[in-house]
Structure 1
Amino acid sequence: MDNTHAKGNILGLLTILLWSSLALFTVLSGSIPPFQLLAISFFIASFIGLFMLKKQKRSFKELFKIPFKIYLVGLYGLFGYHFFYFVAIKNAPAIEANLLNYLWPLLIVVFSALLPNEKLKWYHIVGTFLALVGAFLLVSKGGKFEFDEQYFYGFACALAAAIIWSSYSVISKTLKHIPTFAVTGFCLLTALFSLIAHLILEQTIIPSATQLFASIMLGLGPVGGAFYLWDFAVKNGDIKILGSLSYLAPLLSTLILVFMGIAPLTSSVIFACILIVLGSIISSKEYIKVIKKFFIKS
């Protein structure tokens, strides 16, 4: 495993850590409508890319050299995922919608088998399945939920969100020739389309200081900055491992809410923690061996 490959896996894990703060800052954002929140967050995220361009001594014009079809892929992934996710939350119970949404790590592992030189091994499948069961326990509050036909549209949108994000991540793996600063354009377009969706579907809310702070933190972290890290991670790391480790996001997100006193610590949460951690360890078996050999040699 070369340094770039290892760095990709590490940055992928860092991305997952950033995503784990999504629930906390979303709660702190209060009554800001979803698409208004996205417009603000992705606008903030754009500045990260602009800073990246400046640090690499590149001009803004570099973004216009990125092929149009690549921007379609970025818009499909970033805006498409969030659009369908928020529509799902509005048209179906949050528990069931989240459960279907968190199929995306599993789908990443499955879709990755379609890539050249990629092959699923038994520990990828077992680890991902255990993590999926753990995520199920987290989002369903111990396995208590019922599907209702009246929420079919919301369920379909949640599933669409999972398919969009997982396929976007796997497609990104094939775009190693596209520099990560291209995500700047993805964020700008997503901010624009989110603003349009907000003006059509929502009523504007003037945020308080706390809500504005939460919006900025979302843009710097889970709904913005994390996408630059994820782009590098999926292009250079092991996408099967990253898919399995992604189940740590709902786990860590729940633990943060518990720590902050926003959510209770229940037996189902503890059991889910065990399953997700165990599943992530099993699916990362090959990578852990490499790390172990590295330290033994050192």
Structure 2
Amino acid sequence: MHGTNKATLIGLVAILLWSAIVGLIRSVSDHLGPTGGAAMMYSLASVFLLLSVGHVKLSEFPRRYLAWGSLLFVSYELCLALSIGYASTARQAIEVGMVNYLWPTFTVIAAILFNRQRANWLIVPGFALSIVGICWVLGGDGGFDVAGMLANVRDSPLSYGLAFAGALIWAAYCTVTARIANGKNGVTLFFILVSITLWIKYLLEGGGAMDFSLEAVVYLVLAAGAMGFGYGAWNVGILHGNVTVLAGASYFIAVFSAALSTLLLRAPLSLAFWQGAAMVYGGAILCWLATRNNI
């Protein structure tokens, strides 16, 4: 197999691994708790990253990237893991994952506002379709239902709030690091910082019981592997593969994630959910297309 094709295939594996993260994080949280489970996941994922990506040489990284990258990356991962762990039900965990998937749309908007990325008129319907899609998902089985959406959010406001904040933060991370990273990838360091932060939170909360059953350990290893090796595989794909193919394929993560999560969590999803998910996906694609002819 040609080197570029092989690297692209490795990058596509990362997309599949990331698509399983929502269901796996929720499964680990059910056994080990939202904070303790997340701390275990990121600690083990840090080990996997050290093995796959390698050690971090801080002297090679721009100081601004270390500062802002650390702050934004750690904040995002905390929002992602805890929003899923704090969800009241398995279905809410999947919905939270969909809210987090607003980040591609927000990233394009941020690039336009702050990085002077040029875009055409498709950006308007793309952004609107993404927002309507999320409202459709949160509305429940009835689709776009404002009362149902508000009731759903009120049932777990912290979880949905963290997911929405995470989408904004990741868009900021992508926008900022594109300007100041100088091609460096500090994901290994950032994961270590996430795990340290979570352990501090866990200890400040007084710890908590963890059910280290065989099932819990299996989910923990799978979740950490999906996170750690996912980033490692993506790094290979972006550096040596077909970036255009990988960028286009990454927009399918929302749909893949929902499909894998409903299997892992045994939480059937309504037709309205899939309609909303399709809107979020379609909106992200429109936002991406809005920039393609203006680079």
Same fold (TM over 0.5): yes
Instruction: Find the aligned partners of 1:246 and 1:117 in 2 and give their Cα distance.
Output: 23
Instruction: Find the aligned partners of 1:41 and 1:35 in 2 and give their Cα distance.
Output: 10
**Post-superposition offset of 1:268:** 0.9
Does the alignment pair 1:110 with 2:114? Answer: no
Instruction: Find the aligned partners of 1:185 and 1:208 in 2 and give their Cα distance.
Output: 30
Instruction: Find the aligned partners of 2:110 and 2:237 in 1 and give their Cα distance.
Output: 16
Change over 3 Å in CA distance of 1:64–1:41 after alignment to 2: farther
Corresponding residue number in structure 2 for 1:272? 276
Q: Higher mean Cα deviation, 100-109 or 203-212? A: 100-109
Corresponding residue number in structure 1 for 2:175? 170
Instruction: Find the aligned partners of 2:234 and 2:62 in 1 and give their Cα distance.
Output: 20
- The code of the aligned residue for 1:127 comes to G
Q: Please list the CA deviations of residues 80-99 of structure 1 after superposition, one character each: whole Å capped at 9, or x if unmatched.
A: 12334566668887588667
- The code of the aligned residue for 1:162 comes to A
Does the aligned pair in 2 maintain the 1:113–1:120 contact within 8 Å? yes
Q: Please list the CA deviations of residues 188-210 of structure 1 after superposition, one character each: whole Å capped at 9, or x if unmatched.
A: 11111111111212414142122
Instruction: Find the aligned partners of 2:235 and 2:288 in 1 and give their Cα distance.
Output: 20
Structure 1 segment 131-150 matched on structure 2, within 5 A: 131-141=130-140, 142-143=143-144, 144-146=148-150
Corresponding residue number in structure 1 for 2:68? 73
Change over 3 Å in CA distance of 1:259–1:188 after alignment to 2: closer
Change over 3 Å in CA distance of 1:166–1:39 after alignment to 2: same
- The code of the aligned residue for 2:122 comes to Y
Q: Please list the CA deviations of residues 154-191 of structure 1 after superposition, one character each: whole Å capped at 9, or x if unmatched.
A: 665444333222101211222452422x2111111111
Q: Secondary structure at the match of 2:149?
A: coil
Change over 3 Å in CA distance of 1:45–1:152 after alignment to 2: closer
Q: Please list the CA deviations of residues 224-272 of structure 1 after superposition, one character each: whole Å capped at 9, or x if unmatched.
A: 343456678899958xx95x97664333222223445712242213423
Corresponding residue number in structure 1 for 2:222? 217
Change over 3 Å in CA distance of 1:211–1:159 after alignment to 2: same
- The code of the aligned residue for 1:183 comes to V
Q: Higher mean Cα deviation, 171-180 or 105-114? A: 171-180
Structure 1 segment 177-196 matched on structure 2, within 5 A: 177-180=182-185, 182-196=186-200
Q: Please list the CA deviations of residues 4-53 of structure 1 after superposition, one character each: whole Å capped at 9, or x if unmatched.
A: 9xx89x94x66544332123212432221222222222222223432345
**Post-superposition offset of 1:108:** 0.9
Change over 3 Å in CA distance of 1:278–1:111 after alignment to 2: closer
TM-score, scaled to structure 1 = 0.70
TM-score, scaled to structure 2 = 0.70
Match of residue 166, structure 2, among 148, 156, 161 = 161
Change over 3 Å in CA distance of 1:81–1:265 after alignment to 2: closer
Match of residue 253, structure 2, among 249, 254, 274 = 249
Q: Higher mean Cα deviation, 182-191 or 253-262? A: 253-262
Instruction: Find the aligned partners of 2:280 and 2:156 in 1 and give their Cα distance.
Output: 28
Instruction: Find the aligned partners of 2:79 and 2:59 in 1 and give their Cα distance.
Output: 28
- The code of the aligned residue for 2:73 comes to L
| Alignment gaps of 5+ in structure 1 | 55-59, 290-298
Does the aligned pair in 1 maintain the 2:255–2:278 contact within 8 Å? no
Change over 3 Å in CA distance of 1:33–1:270 after alignment to 2: closer
Among all aligned residue pairs of Structure 1 and Structure 2, give the percentage whose two residues are the same amino acid: 21
Structure 1 segment 1-298 matched on structure 2, within 5 A: 11=11, 15-29=14-28, 30-52=30-52, 60=55, 62-85=57-80, 94=92, 101-116=100-115, 118-141=117-140, 142-143=143-144, 144-146=148-150, 157-180=162-185, 182-201=186-205, 202-221=207-226, 223-228=227-232, 248-259=252-263, 262-285=266-289
